[in-house]
Amino acid sequence: MATIIVEDGTGTNPAANSYVSVAELEAYAADRGITIAGDGSELLIKAMDWLLIKAFSGTMLLATQPLHFPTKQSGVPNNIKIAEMVAALETDAGSDLLAPLQPRVIQQTVFGAVSRTFSDKGNQATVFTQLNALIAPFLSSGGGFGFVVSRG
């Protein structure tokens, strides 16, 4: 069983490893009629593993803080806390948020002497719509050029 140390919004605890407590996760799940089967602390750690690979925008309060939030712009946003809990519940339901991308499934159809093969190009990955929506406002642009167009 992992030990959860909740970020208190100051960024000063070098051992902080979660934005929410196990009790908060359990209350969030109970409010939605969800029963947690796994260990809440382990689920939160796995959820944080997923959050830690995201490229969030904003300047951290301290260069030494272990988690991206709090930031000077937004502290620890409530949507980030909710995203951690949703990611924990997705993990508990059997989703692997850190699964490697898999090649798309190829479908082959045979009509007598003729066969046709269909495949979408690219990789296949599960899309977690709720998680993506929760963290989207806090993500950096991911590179490229950013500019503002205005008319004077």
Are 89 and 52 in contact by the 8 Å Cβ rule? The answer is no
Name the residue with higher pLDDT: 10 or 150.
Answer: 10
What is the C-alpha to C-alpha distance for residues 93 and 133, in angstroms, rounded to an integer? 19
The reported pTM is 0.80
| Per-residue pLDDT reduced to its tens digit, 72-128 | 998 999 999 999 999 999 999 999 998 876 665 566 677 777 766 666 665 566 778
| Per-residue pLDDT reduced to its tens digit, 39-62 | 999 999 999 999 999 999 999 999
* b (16+ CB within 10 A) / e for 116-139: eeeeeeeeeeeebeebeebbeebe
Q: What is the pLDDT of residue 122?
A: 58
Q: In whole angstroms, what separates CA 12 from the centre of its chain?
A: 23
What is the C-alpha to C-alpha distance for residues 148 and 131, in angstroms, rounded to an integer? 28
